[in-house]
Amino acid sequence: GENVEQHPSTLSVQEGDSAVIKCTYSDSASNYFPWYKQELGKGPQLIIDIRSNVGEKKDQRIAVTLNKTAKHFSLHITETQPEDSAVYFCAAHDNAGNMLTFGGGTRLMVKP
């Protein structure tokens, strides 16, 4: 089945700086890659996703890039704000099992 690795596990940045989280996946047939944000005491919430026919997607301060050849995708957050502090999960859609496989998560801390 699919295996998703996520790095780093923790990331601390100053407010206004950029943050980058990277993920690799193993199943070359995977074609859907969402990113979820989980705030304390809440369930994960989708913030952006990308499909395999697209190399990059942006939504205001958030962008995701996908390199299908290398089987890795990244989340970029620019001009970070304290409210961006949360745990971020990447995921890949496992075509064989028709389910999402999640990375281990990244705890992002934005210091004011």
Which chain residues interact with another protein by CB under 8 A? Answer: 31-32, 34, 36, 41-46, 49, 51, 89, 93, 97-105
* Residue whose structure tokens are 């949360």: 86
SS3 106: strand
Question: Among residues 19 and 105, whose Cβ is nearest to another protein?
Answer: 105
> Least distance (Å) from another protein to the CB of residue 70?
21
CB of 99 to another protein, least distance (A): 5
Other CB atoms closer than 10 Å to residue 42's CB: what's the count?
9
Residue 15 Cβ vs another protein, minimum distance, rounded to whole Å: 27
Cβ closest to another protein, residue 75 vs residue 103: 103
Per-residue buried b or exposed e for 75-103, using 16+ beta carbons within 10 Å of the residue's own CB: bbbeebeeebbbbbbbbbbbeeeeebbbb
Token pair of 77 as six digits:
């957050």
Considering the complex, state which of residue 41 and residue 112 has its C-beta at the smaller distance from another protein: 41
Closer CB to another protein, 55 or 97, in the complex:
97
d(CA 89, CA 57): 17
Instruction: State in angstroms the smallest separation of the CB of 8 from another protein.
Output: 14
